Amino acid sequence: MRRFFFSLALPLLFMATPAPAQTPMAVPLQANPKTIAIDSLYNGMDLTVTGKVPAGSQVVLRLAGEPATFHMKQKGKVFGLLWMNLDKVAFADAPKVFLVAASDQVPAEAMARLGVPGLSDRITVEAQNPDKAALVAEFLKYQKAEKLYKENAGEVALGPDAGATRDFTAVLHMPSRLSPGTYTIEAMALKDGATVAQGNDSIQAAFVGAPAFLADMAFGHGLLYGVLASIIAIAGGVIIGQIFSGSKGGAH
């Protein structure tokens, strides 16, 4: 009797066990160029990303800079009259740059979750103000105004379904204020709001030419950099003084 009960309960046990969560498929991804040269004339550029996703899916593409801690000061009114810097605020684990682009039919709720508003769940705040959600919202607003965080930062074009996959090509508009470092590119394929495939790539940004020389001087030879900066400032002041003194003499 016990053997019969066990043989009957065993299939029921397997039926009651939940199926393991399905791991998203890997998205083959390629970014071009792999290295961004930040020279004296750099004023932003377009980054092209290509890949393959499952047929019938939509694409969300995100580019994120390395996480950093931003130290800022909270402004407020003193005596209800004057705006002044009050408490110090630190926003930790915030990417230096965050750009998002999506194909046309990505649902709005998915964009809210995967786009800039979704960073509020990741960023931590150190501040005396207890309303940390409001501080994060203001931080995201500030970064968007600085064009370092941006939704609709490019275009994503989807090809036709070809068997089980479809190609996509995306163009991201890189900001003019780009810092050296590693930038991660993430592509997510969505179906019915769920992520069914995902892939990553990375690019490097580096100073070249005059910006590289100045950065090396500032961080590697601080004393010499300070002396040269002082000499240039003094020389500039003398030249401007001579120009204005000459113009006054000519007027008489």
Task: Tell me the DSSP string of the chain.
Answer: -HHHHHHHHHHHHHHHSPPPPPPPEEPPEEEE-SEEEE-TT---EEEEEEEEEETT-EEEEEEE--EEEEEEEEEEEETTTEEEEEEEEEEEEEES-EEEEE-TT--HHHHHHHSGGGGGGT-EEE-S-S-HHHHHHHHHHHHHHTTSEESS-EEEEEPPPBTTEEEEEEEEEE-SS--SEEEEEEEEEEETTEEEEEEEEEEEEEE-SHHHHHHHHHHH-HHHHHHHHHHHHHHHHHHHHHHHHHHHHHH-
- 89 and 124 share one domain: yes
Q: How many domains does the chain have?
A: 2
Which tokens belong to 33? Answer: 């160029």
pLDDT score at 117: 95
> Computed over its alpha carbons, how large is the radius of gyration of the chain?
27
Residue % of the chain over a pLDDT of 90: 59
Per-residue model confidence as pLDDT tens digits over 36-50: 999 889 999 999 999
What residue type is 140 in one-letter code?
L
Q: How far is CA 116 from CA 65, 137, 143, 238, in A?
A: 13, 10, 10, 48
Query: How many residues comprise the chain?
Result: 252
Per-residue model confidence as pLDDT tens digits over 200-216: 999 999 999 766 666 56
- 149 and 112 share one domain: yes
Q: How far apart are CA 31 and CA 77, in angstroms?
A: 47
- 114 and 223 share one domain: no
Residue 104: inside a domain:
yes
153 vs 16: which has the higher pLDDT: 153
Please say whether the beta carbons of 166 and 53 come within 8 A. Answer: yes
- 112 and 134 share one domain: yes
- 196 and 131 share one domain: yes
Residue 8: inside a domain:
no
Per-residue model confidence as pLDDT tens digits over 68-109: 999 987 765 544 544 445 678 899 999 999 999 999 999 999
Residue 144: inside a domain:
yes
- 46 and 129 share one domain: yes
- 227 and 146 share one domain: no
CATH of the domain at 53: 2.60.40
- 151 and 230 share one domain: no
pLDDT score at 3: 52
- Structure-token match 């709001």, residue found: 193
Residue 28: inside a domain:
yes
The residue segments making up the domain with residue 144 are: 23-206
- 188 and 222 share one domain: no
Sign of the CA dihedral 23, 29, 31, 35?
positive
- 202 and 216 share one domain: no
Which tokens belong to 205? Answer: 């940004």
- 95 and 193 share one domain: yes
Q: How far apart are CA 157 and CA 82, in angstroms?
A: 50
- 81 and 199 share one domain: yes
Pairing of strands 25-26, 165-174: unpaired
Residue 192: inside a domain:
yes
Residue 3: inside a domain:
no
pLDDT score at 130: 78
Per-residue model confidence as pLDDT tens digits over 158-177: 999 999 999 999 999 999 99
Residue 51: inside a domain:
yes
Which tokens belong to 245? Answer: 């003194």
Residue 66: inside a domain:
yes
